[in-house]
Structure 1
Amino acid sequence: MMERLDIDQIALRLASLVPPGLADAQKDLSANFRDVLAQGLRRLELVTREEFDVQSQLLARTRAKVDELEKRVAELEAVAHSRES
């Protein structure tokens, strides 16, 4: 998920886009932007990079095991088929 610092930077950048006449409202807008961004990101149910990497590694190991088992089944089927003939 995005770091709090990243959210703060985005909020400040959005607040800096506010016209100069509304400079007094910049702090409030920055806080509001920060809250809205954080809330929106929480609703997305994102995973961390670490969680993603762990699941990717688990999937790769599972895929390798499935490939091994498929090969073994094919070998056993070939042996069974040759015995039937």
Structure 2
Amino acid sequence: MFDPKKLEQVAKQIHESMPQPVKELGSDVEQKVRQAIQGQLNKLDVVSREEFDVQTQVLLRTRQKLTAMEQKLAELEEKLSEK
């Protein structure tokens, strides 16, 4: 759901900002930070970027179809008013 590279980057930044004695605990701390971040992100009501992009394309196609239908309707209404 979330970009693993971004998550890794955030975890690394948090790890680097920790005091030296804590950093010396090693990858265990980094793994725990990563798990904590992932757990909190999973609680959020968000969609993945891929899902968002798919829905954006669906909305764009729907808007194009609606515009075309509105134009056809206007043309039909014009024809009917001429009679």
Deviation by residue 1:27-76 (Cα, 9 ceiling, x = unmatched):
44323321221112212233333322222221111111101110111111
Distance (whole Å) between structure 2 residues aligned to residue 54 and residue 23 of structure 1: 41
Moved more, 43-52 or 14-23: 43-52
The aligned counterpart of 2:77 is 77
Q: Percent identity?
A: 33
Distance (whole Å) between structure 2 residues aligned to residue 49 and residue 22 of structure 1: 34
The aligned counterpart of 2:62 is 62
The aligned counterpart of 2:46 is 46
1:37 aligns with 2:62: no
Gap runs ≥5 in structure 2: none
| TM-score, normalization by structure 1 | 0.72
Moved more, 69-78 or 41-50: 41-50
Distance (whole Å) between structure 2 residues aligned to residue 51 and residue 40 of structure 1: 20
Task: Check 1:16–1:26 CA distance in 2 against 1; reply closer, same or farther (3 A cut).
Answer: farther
Amino acid across the alignment from 1:4: P
Larger Rg: 1
The aligned counterpart of 1:11 is 11
| TM-score, normalization by structure 2 | 0.74
